[in-house]
Each structure stands twice: as C-alpha cells, then as structure tokens.
C-alpha cells in the first residue's frame, strides 16, 4: 500500500524521519506490514491503535532495538537501517522513553541523566552535568538532582526518564506509553513536560492510549491495525471525521470503554 500524502505541518523541510515499507515478523507472525511514515522537523506524531497493533514495535525499530526484515528507515539523510550504522550514534540522536521508567535505582537523578552522555558519548562530566542541571531546572526538578529514584513519585521518575532521554540533545524523541503506568493525578505533570517539549519545537513520535492527550498534543495521528498503518491525518480530523470505517470503529470502542 502506498503512503497517503503527509498531513503534518508544511515546513517545506525534508523529513527528519522517514520510514519506508517496513516489515517485521516474530516467529512468522507479521507484526509490521509495509509501514510508511514521514515525520517533519518539529512535528508531533501520535500512534494509536489496539493493543498488539505494532506501535511499540515500530518505535523499537526506529531506535534500532529491533532489526527490520524489509524496508528502510532514514534519520535526516542517513539510512539508519543500513548494516554499517553504529546503533550508539543513532541512539544519541534519538531519545526513547518507555512506560516503565527504567531509572538505575542505585544512582542519583544526576548520575542517571549524565551516565549515557559521559560513558557512551564521551561528553566531559562538566558539560554533561551542566546540561542535566539546565534540564532539571527547566522541568522543575532542580531540587531532586541528588535524590535517588525511590524517593521520587512515579510522575517525577518519569520526568527524570524524559530528561535523561533529552540529555544528549537528540533531534527526535520517541515516547512509548509514558503515562500508562502512572496514577491519574500524576499523568498531568508528565503530559506537561511533553507539551513544553512540543512548544520548544522538539520532534516527537508517541504511542499512546490516551486519546485526549493525542488529540491535544499531536499534529498528526496515525492509526495502526494489525501492523498496517491504515490511516493518518491531522489530529482534529482523525478524531472527528476519520475516513476509514476501521478507525471510526476503534475510536468508538475506546469511547464506549471509557463510559463503562
Ligand atoms: N519480542 C517479541 N517476540 C515475539 N512477539 C512479539 C515481540 N514483541 C512484540 N511481539 C508481538 O508483536 C505484536 C505487536 O506488539 P506491540 O508491542 O508492538 O504492540 P502495541 O501496539 O505496542 O501494543 P500495546 O498497545 O499493548 O502496547 C503483538 O502481537 C506482540 O505479541
Ligand atoms: Mg506498546
């Protein structure tokens, strides 16, 4: 299936991320089936779809945590699925945050954030700490620099995980269900940080089950079903008048489940 025309903001720029005809299977089961997607600089794309539709797998392929079976992925002008690519270099340019925050429990917040820049990317400790403190300050966690993760709320831990992903100044941020492990009252503070990143021009691809959040934050929403990117469009249009009956049926089911 050829991709429909992109509907993100028309920046006139080349896409920052280009996914072309990506296939992925596990044990003969096709989890991604010819996915095409372009993400423009500063665009926020939300992936929605039922559990098992392939959202996390797609994000993991972009971050090279999975190899693709067919197709290719470009970051700017570099084909990152090329065999000669250094995955560490790609992960410096692409930050990723997961549902479970995965902070190292035996390290302070500051050490969690500076670990990758110093160890993997050879920043000086001084530069890494300056960057970490700037981010902690910006996101209201300056007083937690020396705290250990178990002294932080879930919302604070997830904010630290997002800051950690931003530490190497990536050009793209991937967020996989970053609010789903949180109590409802903590969701807002994590959404706030993502909103601020969007306002500062960060390019992001998010997988989320929070339709309200997707509608609010996304420029473009993509609906996946059984590994196929069935429909994409501007957030408002996707939620009010999706073209595909299957998108409509999915959104209807989500709406009904919320009413139960
Ligand atoms: N490492 C793996 N080995 C085998 N199968 C896998 C693996 N990872 C994912 N799958 C399968 O691939 C399919 C897509 O999974 P994926 O996690 O990408 O879905 P998802 O859309 O992120 O779902 P959710 O909304 O529940 O997070 C599922 O059928 C899943 O069981
Ligand atoms: Mg998932």
Q: Do 17 and 112 belong to one domain?
A: no
Domain count within the chain:
2
Q: Do 121 and 151 belong to one domain?
A: yes
Q: Do 107 and 165 belong to one domain?
A: yes
Query: Three-state DSSP class for 105?
Result: coil
- pLDDT of 32 > 60? The answer is yes
Q: Which of 169, 186, 204 is the last residue of a domain?
A: 169
Residue closest to 206 by CA, chosen among 187, 225, 189, 219: 219
- pLDDT of 232 > 50? The answer is yes
Residue 5 in any domain: the answer is yes
- Centroid of chain to Cα 248: 24
Token readout for 25 is: 């299977």
Tell me the per-residue pLDDT of 5-27, one tens digit each, with 9 for 90 and over: 344 455 567 999 999 999 999 99
**Long-range contact pairs involving 2-6 (C-beta distance under 8 Å, separation at least 24):** 2/36, 3/36, 3/37, 3/38, 3/229, 4/231, 4/232, 6/38, 6/40, 6/220, 6/232
Q: Do 198 and 253 belong to one domain?
A: yes
**Neighbour tally for 153: CB within 10 Å:** 13
- pLDDT of 187 > 80? The answer is yes
Residue 203 in any domain: the answer is yes
User: Which pLDDT value is given to residue 12?
Assistant: 60
Token readout for 89 is: 């270099």
Residue 67 in any domain: the answer is yes
Residue closest to 15 by CA, chosen among 67, 64, 73, 81: 73
Q: Do 76 and 201 belong to one domain?
A: yes
Stretch 27-45: mean pLDDT = 97
Residue 37 in any domain: the answer is yes
User: Which pLDDT value is given to residue 218?
Assistant: 97
Residue 8 in any domain: the answer is yes
Q: Do 10 and 133 belong to one domain?
A: no
Q: Do 60 and 147 belong to one domain?
A: no
Question: In terms of DSSP H, where are the helices of 139-177?
Answer: 154-166
80: CATH: 3.40.50.300
Question: In angstroms, what is the C-alpha Rg of the chain?
Answer: 18
Q: Which of 122, 143, 169 is the last residue of a domain?
A: 169
Q: Do 6 and 19 belong to one domain?
A: yes
Stretch 119-143: mean pLDDT = 93
User: Which pLDDT value is given to residue 189?
Assistant: 87
> How far apart are the two ends of the chain, measured CA to CA in Å?
36
Kindly state the helix (H) or strand (E) to which residue 137 belongs, with its residue range. Answer: helix 125-138
Per the CB < 8 A criterion, the answer to whether 156 and 168 are in contact is no
Q: Do 200 and 220 belong to one domain?
A: yes
Residue 4 in any domain: the answer is yes
- pLDDT of 118 > 80? The answer is yes
For residue 196, what are the domain limits?
A: 1-93+173-260
Q: Do 159 and 208 belong to one domain?
A: no
User: Which pLDDT value is given to residue 13?
Assistant: 72
User: Which pLDDT value is given to residue 8?
Assistant: 44
- Would you put residue 43 in left (φ > 0), alpha (ψ -120 to 50) or beta? beta
Q: Say if ligand 1 is within 6 A of residue 51 CB.
A: yes
Q: Which ligand places an atom closest to the C-alpha of 98?
A: 2
User: Which pLDDT value is given to residue 2?
Assistant: 39
Q: Using CA atoms, how far apart are residues 122 and 118, in angstroms rounded to an integer?
A: 5
Q: Do 192 and 141 belong to one domain?
A: no
Residue 239 in any domain: the answer is yes
Residue 98 in any domain: the answer is no
Answering whether pTM is above 0.85, one says: yes
Stretch 74-97: mean pLDDT = 94
User: Which pLDDT value is given to residue 180?
Assistant: 87
Tell me the per-residue pLDDT of 43-72, one tens digit each, with 9 for 90 and over: 999 999 999 999 999 999 999 999 999 999
Q: Say if ligand 1 is within 6 A of residue 203 CB.
A: no
Q: What is the DSSP letter of 3?
A: P
User: Which pLDDT value is given to residue 7?
Assistant: 42
Q: Which of 52, 65, 67, 98 to mutate for ligand 1's pocket (most ligand atoms within 8 Å of CB)? A: 52
Q: Do 184 and 87 belong to one domain?
A: yes
Q: Using CA atoms, how far apart are residues 4 and 138, in angstroms rounded to an integer?
A: 38
Stretch 120-145: mean pLDDT = 93
Kindly state the greatest CA–CA separation across the chain.
54
Q: Which of 169, 194, 218 is the last residue of a domain?
A: 169
Q: Say if ligand 1 is within 6 A of residue 131 CB.
A: no
Residue nearest to atom 30 of ligand 1 (CA): 52
């Amino acid at each position: 299936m050829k991709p429909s025309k992109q509907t993100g903001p028309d920046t006139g720029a080349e896409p920052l991320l280009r996914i072309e005809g990506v296939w992925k299977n596990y044990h003969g089961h096709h989890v991604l089936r010819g996915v095409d997607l372009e993400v423009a600089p500063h665009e926020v794309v939300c992936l929605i779809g039922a559990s098992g539709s392939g959202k996390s797998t797609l994000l993991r392929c972009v971050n090279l945590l999975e190899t693709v079976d067919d197709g290719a992925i470009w970051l700017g002008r570099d084909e990152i699925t090329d065999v000669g690519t250094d995955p560490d270099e790609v992960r410096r340019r692409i930050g990723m945050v997961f549902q479970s925050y995965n902070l190292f429990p035996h390290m302070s917040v500051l050490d969690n954030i500076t670990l990758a820049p110093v160890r993997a990317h050879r920043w000086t400790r001084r530069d890494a700490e300056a960057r970490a403190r700037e981010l902690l300050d910006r996101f209201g966690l300056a007083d937690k620099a020396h705290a250990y993760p178990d002294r932080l709320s879930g919302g604070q831990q997830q904010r630290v995980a997002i800051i950690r992903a931003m530490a190497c100044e990536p050009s793209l941020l991937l967020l996989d269900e970053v609010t789903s492990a949180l109590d409802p009252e903590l969701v807002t503070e994590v959404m706030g940080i993502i909103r601020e990143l969007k306002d500062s021009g960060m390019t992001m691809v998010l997988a989320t089950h929070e339709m309200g959040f997707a509608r609010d934050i996304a420029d473009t929403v993509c609906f996946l079903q059984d590994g196929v990117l069935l429909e994409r469009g501007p957030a408002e249009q996707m939620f009010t008048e999706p073209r595909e009956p299957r998108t409509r049926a999915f959104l209807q089911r989500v709406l009904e489940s919320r009413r139960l």
